[in-house]
Amino acid sequence: MSKVTDLLGSQYPIIQGAMGVICNPELVAAVSEAGGFGLLATAFAEDVEAVREQAKVTKKLTNKPSGANLFMMNPLTENFAKVLAEEGIRTVTVSGGSPKALIPLLRDLGLKVIVVVPTVEVAKGAEGLGADAVVAEGSESGGVQGFKGVSTMVLVPAVVDEVNIPVIAAGGISDSCGYKAALALGAEGVQIGTRFIATKECIAHAVYKNTIVAAADTGTGLVNMLRFQIRALRTTLVERLLKGQESSMPDFTWQAMEDSWIKGDLEAGVLPAGQVAGRISTILSVREIIKEIVA
């Protein structure tokens, strides 16, 4: 057992990254069943009972451990944490802002805490706040990004040099070569997002999966959201946003994401993905992906 599998209770130190409305219980359970650690996403959840329901369904599908992500910009985060603990979740990741105010509650609830960090400074801060581990997320990752991003190749060993808690690498990883590279950089585990969208178990619409499969290495761009950026696939909507031809970004609501990510309406919202979309050319089962990574 590595420190990370010990922390997660999983067979392999492979976390499925939390991704908006498409971390359906079937996907999360499939990852945990295959030896990884599935994560429910709560970032855009609008009520506590929806989160409880997702945790309950996941638990029916697998008796292996799974977790959830808490996103600091969601005002219901504390309530979600309580519900997740009640439903038997033992480990959460925290992203989207400082976990300072939240960590004492998570400790009281008996939850293990993994903080997602974009820089060495934030990683040291998380360690100081009592995080059990960090996910060092390189700027090639999909979804929410800051403006001073550092690539996985630099960030992971830089964080490993500066903290004493386990470091989990994220950003640019989709297969065994990325996994081995992450371990060479000093990481003790990996978090993988985009690769798990292009799976049979993910609820994302075929148009989302196929856009990932079709993407080249240059197939993503950073869409400005004022306080942060979103790395997303270069759909025609994203190309217009990048060229300044749209007055504003579609709202990032649950409804907009459901319409674009699950119903396949490419004008309703952007489709987040990491640069690693350029290395994904198949839609596989979660088990096939994890088997190849650890082979």
Binding-site ranges for a second copy (CB under 8 A): 119-121, 138-140, 148, 150-155, 157-158, 161, 171-173, 175, 177-178, 180-186, 216-218, 274-276, 278-279
Side-chain-side CA neighbours of residue 182 (13 Å): 29
Q: Based on CB atoms, which residue is closest to a second copy, 11 or 176?
A: 176
State the nearest-atom distance from the C-beta of 222 to a second copy, in Å.
11
* Separation in Å, CA 216 to CA 234, 262, 264, 278: 10, 22, 20, 4
State the nearest-atom distance from the C-beta of 242 to a second copy, in Å.
10
What is the C-alpha separation between 69 and 42, in angstroms, rounded? 6
State the nearest-atom distance from the C-beta of 262 to a second copy, in Å.
26
Q: Based on CB atoms, which residue is closest to a second copy, 17 or 38?
A: 17
Q: Specify whether the CB–CB gap between 141 and 172 falls below 8 A.
A: yes
Instruction: Give just the sign of the alpha carbon dihedral 18, 20, 25, 27.
Output: negative
Q: Based on CB atoms, which residue is closest to a second copy, 55 or 190?
A: 190
Q: Based on CB atoms, which residue is closest to a second copy, 174 or 260?
A: 174
Side-chain-side CA neighbours of residue 260 (13 Å): 22
State the nearest-atom distance from the C-beta of 252 to a second copy, in Å.
24
State the nearest-atom distance from the C-beta of 173 to a second copy, in Å.
7
Q: Based on CB atoms, which residue is closest to a second copy, 125 or 178?
A: 178
State the nearest-atom distance from the C-beta of 265 to a second copy, in Å.
26
Q: Based on CB atoms, which residue is closest to a second copy, 38 or 274?
A: 274
